[in-house]
Amino acid sequence: RQEVLNAISCLAENTNHVVVFDEVLSVAGKDICTKDIPRIRGGWAIQDVFYAFSQHKELALLFLEYTLSILHKEPVIINSSEKGESTSESLADDCILQATMFALNAFMRGGGKIGKQ
């Protein structure tokens, strides 16, 4: 697992970090909407990625700015499922938003010395 975390951090550091962050949050969103995260045996690997970003000297600030920008631009969705107006796009957006909030929470908890700065 540590090798994967190092590889993801290295990829984010040496390529377009926004693309890497998008992919990680996309996978996290799918997991949140389709799996029972607290019951995953051995812990949720994506959470470890969020921790790794929070403890990385260069990626910590970039990831924090990225997650805050998503929260800033996402509209507040009023539950309209009773009216039958729920779309797969709004569900996907909701999953990404949930993943972003989870990432920010994990980031703040796992920040260590770098994240707390």
Per-residue pLDDT of the chain (117 residues), as tens digits, is: 788 888 988 999 999 999 999 999 889 989 988 988 888 888 888 888 888 888 888 888 889 999 989 888 856 555 544 444 555 567 777 888 889 988 888 888 875 555 455
CA distance 73 to 104: 15
* Enclosing domain of residue 10: 2-116
Burial of residue 87 (CB within 10 Å: 0-12, 13-18, 19+) is exposed
What's the number of domains the chain is made of?
Answer: 1
